[in-house]
């Protein structure tokens, strides 16, 4: 256990905070009741715990507790939002707008809907990863029912202008969904100010457990109609049946509560670590920063490296650090990242990319070690290569 690589993959997942584990434990054993059991104490105490998490999540995004629908994570929340709206509103229109840099959990449900006859517009992004709002403006049609744009990108950390997008959608009577899996409790989110109608959340990117998430579904002005994608006992106001997973829900609430308490100081610390890492790495020649320099998640640094082979680079880094490469984040494919391609990168440069996801438990010493090892790995790969790297 002594020489485990430094974990710098916080956009893939995060460890569960000890305080979260402690809060969850009694709900496996002592308070194991089914929150739907209305006739006895076991059910009531589980229901009270679930209610508390609803309140925490609602407060975090300026919603009401009744607007929180628990799911197994952000993938399910995205599926419920997109397919649920498509099914409920298809008589109004069959056109959906999304963005090229979205997570596959948004793009793939859209692709699926296309096979059913829906029309999908996938907007490009600018070189810095931001959506061009004039492109969005042009994409609206009279039959557009939904716009789905993520809050924070999981690869390049870019934060999209949610309030502007929300206002444009509301003006046109089009529903606005945002995938906020990377954003919850890290940046400020306000479904009223930003005119968001649905928002996908997950616990395991904010030091909570895997397997639990939520969809915020607006109840007033407008009241969003959703066709359930899982039928059964009618839980979650009929939108998502299945016995609620009380321990995970308790952990989700605790994780968000902690993250909100620490948000300001944590963001400042992560920004400093990221800047330090970038200052060191950018002393190398032929290094590109991917994504907007400041409008991004504090803990995200994504770089492309000229003059090296992507897989050799990752192999060289692996003993010292756990990072992700520029190939698709899913381990089942080896295609270059669709996000980096959307920024206009060549396939080769997209492959030779590293995503550093700095998190709560990373230290300054670790960042320095990571910088040093990355620099020496790049230098030795360039030296070995037959066509030496020259600027």
> How far apart are the C-alpha atoms of 305 and 380, rounded to whole Å?
13
Q: How many CB atoms are closer than 10 A to CB 39?
A: 7
Nearer to ligand PLP, 198 or 320 (CB): 198
Closest separation in Å from C-beta 200 to ligand PLP = 7
Whether 329 is catalytic is yes
* Binding residue for ligand PLP, selected from 9, 17, 45, 179, defined by CB under 6 A: 179
305 lies in the binding site for ligand PLP (CB under 6 A): no
182 lies in the binding site for ligand PLP (CB under 6 A): yes
* Binding residue for ligand PLP, selected from 85, 105, 198, 260, defined by CB under 6 A: 105
Nearer to ligand PLP, 322 or 375 (CB): 322
* Binding residue for ligand PLP, selected from 99, 147, 181, 339, defined by CB under 6 A: 181
Nearer to ligand PLP, 109 or 316 (CB): 109
Closest separation in Å from C-beta 14 to ligand PLP = 10
From residue 226, alpha-carbon distances to 83, 92, 112 in Å are 8, 14, 17
The pattern of x and - marking residues 35 through 74 that bind ligand PLP according to CB under 6 A reads --------------------------------------xx
Pull the structure tokens for residue 289.
């920063």
- Of the residues 80, 125, 329, 340, which is catalytic? 329
The pattern of x and - marking residues 143 through 162 that bind ligand PLP according to CB under 6 A reads -------x---x--------
82 lies in the binding site for ligand PLP (CB under 6 A): no
314 lies in the binding site for ligand PLP (CB under 6 A): no
Nearer to ligand PLP, 47 or 236 (CB): 236
Give the binding range for ligand PLP (CB under 6 A) out of 174-182, 215-223, 272-280, 352-360.
Answer: 174-182
202 lies in the binding site for ligand PLP (CB under 6 A): yes
Of all residues in this chain, which one has the CB nearest to ligand PLP in the complex? 73
Closest separation in Å from C-beta 71 to ligand PLP = 8
80 lies in the binding site for ligand PLP (CB under 6 A): no
Closest separation in Å from C-beta 142 to ligand PLP = 30
Nearer to ligand PLP, 258 or 329 (CB): 329
186 lies in the binding site for ligand PLP (CB under 6 A): no
Q: What is the 3-state secondary structure (H, E, C) of the chain?
A: CCCCCEECECCCCCCCCHHHHHHHHHHCCCCCCCCCCCCCHHHHHHHHHHHHHHHHHHHHHCCCHHHEEEECCHHHHHHHHHHHHHHHHCCCCCEEEEECCCCHHHHHHHHHHHHCCCEEEEECECCCCCECHHHHHHHCCCCEEEEECCCECCCCCEECCHHHHHHHHHHCCCEEEEECCCCCCCCCCCCCCCCCCEEEEECCCCCCCCCCEEEEECCCCCCCCCCCCCCCCCCHHHCCCCCCCHHHHHHHHHHHHHHHHHHHHHHHHHHHHHHHHHHHHCCCCCEEECCCCCCECCCEEEEEECCCCHHHHHHHHCCCEECEECECCCCCCCCECHHHHHCCCCHHHHHCEEEEECCCCCCHHHHHHHHHHHHHHHHHHHHHCCCCCCC
Q: Which residues are catalytic?
A: 329
Q: Which residues bind ligand PLP (CB under 6 A)?
A: 73-75, 103, 105, 150, 154, 179, 181-182, 202, 205, 213
């Amino acid at each position: 256990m002594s020489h485990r690589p430094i974990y710098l993959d916080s956009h893939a997942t995060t460890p569960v905070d000890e305080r979260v584990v402690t809060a969850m434990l009694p709900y496996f054993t002592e308070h194991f009741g089914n929150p739907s059991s209305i006739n006895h104490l076991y059910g009531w105490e589980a229901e009270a715990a679930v209610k508390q998490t609803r309140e925490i999540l609602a407060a975090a995004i300026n919603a009401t507790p009744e607007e929180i629908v628990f799911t197994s994570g952000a993938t399910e929340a995205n599926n419920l939002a997109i397919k649920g709206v498509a099914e409920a509103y298809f008589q109004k229109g069959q056109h959906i707008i999304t963005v090229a840099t979205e997570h596959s959990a948004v793009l793939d449900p859209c692709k699926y809907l296309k096979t059913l006859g829906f029309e999908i517009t996938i907007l490009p992004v600018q070189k810095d990863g931001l959506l061009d709002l004039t492109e969005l403006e042009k994409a609206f049609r009279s039959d557009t029912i939904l716009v789905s744009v993520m809050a924070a990108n999981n690869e390049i950390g870019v934060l999209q202008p949610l309030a502007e997008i929300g206002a444009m959608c509301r003006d046109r009577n089009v529903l606005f969904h945002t995938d906020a899996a990377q954003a919850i409790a890290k940046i400020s989110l306000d479904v009223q100010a930003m005119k968001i109608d649905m928002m996908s959340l997950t616990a395991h990117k904010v030091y909570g457990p895997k397997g639990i998430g939520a969809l915020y579904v607006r109840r007033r002005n407008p009241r969003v109609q959703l066709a359930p994608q899982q039928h059964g006992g009618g839980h979650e106001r009929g939108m998502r049946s299945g016995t609620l997973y009380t321990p995970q829900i308790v952990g989700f609430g605790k994780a968000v509560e902690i993250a909100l308490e620490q948000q300001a100081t944590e963001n400042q610390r992560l920004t400093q670590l990221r800047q330090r890492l970038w200052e060191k790495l950018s002393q190398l020649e032929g290094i590109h920063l991917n994504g907007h320099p400041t409008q991004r998640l504090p803990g995200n640094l994504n770089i492309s490296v000229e003059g090296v082979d992507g897989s050799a680079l990752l192999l060289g880094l692996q003993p010292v650090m756990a990072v992700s490469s520029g190939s698709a984040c899913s381990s089942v494919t080896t295609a270059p990242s669709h996000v980096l391609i959307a920024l206009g990168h060549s396939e080769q440069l997209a492959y030779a990319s590293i995503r550093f996801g700095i998190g709560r438990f990373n230290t300054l010493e670790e960042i320095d070690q990571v910088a040093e090892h990355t620099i020496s790995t790049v230098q030795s790969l360039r030296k070995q290569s037959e066509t030496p790297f020259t600027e």
